[in-house]
Structure 1
Amino acid sequence: MMELQYTHKVNKLIQNAHLIAERNHHTSIQSMDLYLGAAHVKEGTLREMYFIIEPYMKQIENIFSIIPSEPSDTERIDRFSIPLSTHARKIWNTSIEVMKRYNQTFLNEGHIIKAFYTHLPEYHQLQKELNPIPHERIIRSVTTARDLTVYLLNKDWRYDVDPDFQISPVQAEDEKELVLWVEEHFGESWSKTLLQAFQSSEEFIPIIKAEEKGELIGFAAFDVYKNKKGIYGPMGVLHATRHKGVGIGLLYNALQCMQEKGYMYAVLKEAGPIEFYEKKCGAKLIPVENDE
C-alpha cells in the first residue's frame, strides 16, 4: 500500500494538534485538537477559518474544561506521536475516504474539516457547545472548490518537462480523440466544456495536451469555461502520471499562452488542490462572499 502523503498545511495541522493536546494535558489527540490545529495553521483557506472562529476562541478553548476527554484509540497513526481518540480516528479515516473519493493523492485540510463536520452530529455535546460558530461559512471556505487568481506578468512561464513526456498545443484534428478521452477519464461535463473550444470561430484552440509515447496522459485548458476569457481550467492528469512534473508543465505552458495573449491575470476556476496552485504559481484565493 502506498504511504499516505500530506500537504504542507496538514503537516502543520498535525504539529498544532500535538501542541494543543499537550497544552490541555490530553493523552490522545482529541477531535477538537484537530479542528483548532487546522485553524491555527493560518494559511490559505485556514487563515479564513481562523478569522471566522476568532471571535469565539475563548468559548472554544473553554470546551476542553466542559466536555470529558474522548477515549483513546488503540492504534497509532503515522506522523502522530500519541494516539488519536476514537472520535478523532473516525474523522481521520473519513478524511482519507474523502481524499480518495475526489481522486486526489495528498491529504489536505479540506478533507479533514469536511470529515470533522461529517461526524460532528454524532457528538451531541460538542455540537451543542460549537453551535454559535458560523459553520456554513467555514465549510464553504475550507471544504469547497475555490477560485484563485494568478498575476501573469512577473514571470516567464515556459517550462520543460521530462523528455519522456511531450507537451504541445492541441490541433483541430485532435478533437475526437481528446474529447472522448476526457469523457472517459474525467467525466462528461469536462468533455462538453472542451468541445466548445473546438466549435469556436477562433483559429487558436486554447487547450494544451500532455502525451507519453503518443498516448494522452493529461490536458489543461483556458478560455473554455462558459466561453469566458481569462479563466484557466479545467485541467486533468492521469492518476498514475501525477507527481512527475506533468501537471506543472501543463499549468505553466497554459499560463504562458495566456500571458502571450495579453492577459494580466488568470482566474483559476474552482481550482484544486489549492496548495498546488499556491506553491507552483503564487495563486491567491478570491475571498468568498459572506452572504449570511
Structure 2
Amino acid sequence: MIVPCLTHKVHKLIKQAHELAERNQHTCIQSIDLFLGAALVKEGTLREMHDLLEPYSEQLERLLKTLSPEPSSGIVIDSHSMPVSLNTLNIWNVSVNIMKRYNQTYLNEGHIIKAFFSLLSEQPQLEQGLQIVPQESIIQSVTVAKNLSVHLLTRDWSLRKADQVKISSVQAYEKEHFLSWSGSHFGEVWSDTLRNAFQSNNPLIPIYKAEVEGRLIGFAAYDVFMDKKGVFGPMGVLPDFRHDGVGRRLLYAALESMKEKGYMYAMLIEAGPIEFYEKTCNAKLIPMEEGK
C-alpha cells in the first residue's frame, strides 16, 4: 500500500485513533476509532467536529464498547500505530483516491471524513449508532472548502531566498501565453478567473509566477476572484514542485504585494489546503455560521 504525504492533523488523527483503540482494547484501529480520533485532534475544522460531537459523548462511548469488532487487515498505515481493520483500510484507500481526484498531494482530514461517510452504509451497525449525531453538519464543517483570513500587518512577507526558482510578477505582454499555460495545467475555470487580472489599465498585474530556467511551474494571484478586492487566490503549483517551498514563496510574494497596496487583511475564499495556509501565514479559519 502506498502511503501519501500526510498533513500534520492527519498524523495527529492517526495517533488519537491508535490511543482510542488501545483504550478500548481493540486489536486494530476500527472505523469508529478513526472517526472519533479525528474529533480528538481539536484543531481547525476538527475543532468544529469535536464541538458538534461533544453533546453526544456518552452515547458515543457506549457505541465504542458495543460495536462488533472489525477484522484486522494486518496493515499499518503509520509506523507509530497498530494495524488497521479491513473497514478502516477501505476508508483509507478511498480517501487517497479522493485526494488524487482533487489533484492534491497531501492527505488531509477532509478526505478521510468524506471517505468515512461515503462508506458508512456498508457498516449497518455503525451507521445505526451514528444516527444520533449531526452528520450533515460534520460533513460540511470538515470536508467543504473554507474561508480564511490573514492579517497582513503582523509581519514582513518578503522572502529572500536565492535558488533556481525565480519568482516575479506576470507582465501584460505575457497574457496569452500565461492564460494558455494555466488553462492546460489547472483548468479553464481558473484560467477565466485569472483573465480578470488583465482587464484593468493598472500596469501592475496581480499575479506572481514561479519559473525554473524559464519554464513556468506555478503562480499566485489576488484581486481576481469575482473581481473582489483583498481576496487572495487562486494559486497553483505543478505537482513535481509542490514539496519544494514554491507555494510558500508565491504566497508570500502575493501577500507582500497586497500589504504594499494598503490592504490590512487578505481573504482566502474556499481555500482547499487549509493546513498549508494555517502553517505558512497564520491564516485563521472563519467559523461556519450557525445552521449552515
* TM class, shorter-length: over 0.9
Task: Note the aligned Cα RMSD (angstroms).
Answer: 1.4
Equivalence for 2:173: 173
Equivalence for 2:61: 61
2:46/2:142 contact within 8 Å kept: yes
Whether 1:163 aligns to 2:163 is yes
> Which amino acid letter does the alignment assign opposite residue 277 of structure 2?
Y
The more displaced of 99-108 and 253-262 is: 99-108
Deviations 1:147-203 (A, max 9, x none): 100000010000134420110111101100110011000001000001111012333
How far has the Cα of 1:72 moved from its partner? 1.4
How far has the Cα of 1:251 moved from its partner? 0.2
1:165/1:211 contact within 8 Å kept: yes
Residues 80 and 96 (structure 1), Cα distance of their counterparts in 2 relative to 1, 3 Å cut: farther
Equivalence for 2:253: 253
Q: CA–CA distance in 2 between the matches of 1:131 and 1:223?
A: 43
Equivalence for 1:219: 219
Equivalence for 1:16: 16
How far has the Cα of 1:71 moved from its partner? 1.5
Q: CA–CA distance in 2 between the matches of 1:204 and 1:219?
A: 15
Whether 1:25 aligns to 2:34 is no
What secondary structure sits across from 1:153 in the alignment? Answer: helix
Q: CA–CA distance in 2 between the matches of 1:6 and 1:146?
A: 19
Equivalence for 1:110: 110
Q: CA–CA distance in 2 between the matches of 1:155 and 1:80?
A: 36
Deviations 1:225-275 (A, max 9, x none): 010000000000000111111101100000000000000000011112111
Q: CA–CA distance in 2 between the matches of 1:82 and 1:278?
A: 29
Instruction: Please give the residue correspondences for 1:88-103 in structure 2 after superposition, counting only pairs within 5 Å.
Output: 88-103=88-103
How far has the Cα of 1:4 moved from its partner? 2.4
> Which amino acid letter does the alignment assign opposite residue 82 of structure 1?
M
Q: CA–CA distance in 1 between the matches of 2:287 and 2:76?
A: 37
Q: CA–CA distance in 2 between the matches of 1:76 and 1:233?
A: 37
Residues 107 and 175 (structure 1), Cα distance of their counterparts in 2 relative to 1, 3 Å cut: same
Q: CA–CA distance in 1 between the matches of 2:140 and 2:189?
A: 22
The more displaced of 69-78 and 22-31 is: 69-78
Q: CA–CA distance in 1 between the matches of 2:22 and 2:196?
A: 55
> Which amino acid letter does the alignment assign opposite residue 56 of structure 1?
Y
Whether 1:139 aligns to 2:139 is yes
How far has the Cα of 1:103 moved from its partner? 1.5
Q: CA–CA distance in 1 between the matches of 2:66 and 2:167?
A: 58
Equivalence for 2:266: 266
Q: CA–CA distance in 1 between the matches of 2:95 and 2:162?
A: 33
1:7/1:275 contact within 8 Å kept: yes
Identity %, equivalent residues? 57
Q: CA–CA distance in 2 between the matches of 1:2 and 1:33?
A: 22
What TM-score, normalized to structure 2?
0.96
What secondary structure sits across from 2:267 in the alignment? Answer: strand
How far has the Cα of 1:2 moved from its partner? 7.2
Q: CA–CA distance in 1 between the matches of 2:201 and 2:182?
A: 22
What TM-score, normalized to structure 1?
0.96
How far has the Cα of 1:3 moved from its partner? 5.4
1:162/1:245 contact within 8 Å kept: no
2:15/2:81 contact within 8 Å kept: no
The more displaced of 227-236 and 95-104 is: 95-104
Alignment gaps of 5+ in structure 2: none
The more displaced of 66-75 and 148-157 is: 66-75
What secondary structure sits across from 1:181 in the alignment? Answer: helix
Equivalence for 1:188: 188
How far has the Cα of 1:80 moved from its partner? 5.1
Alignment gaps of 5+ in structure 1: none
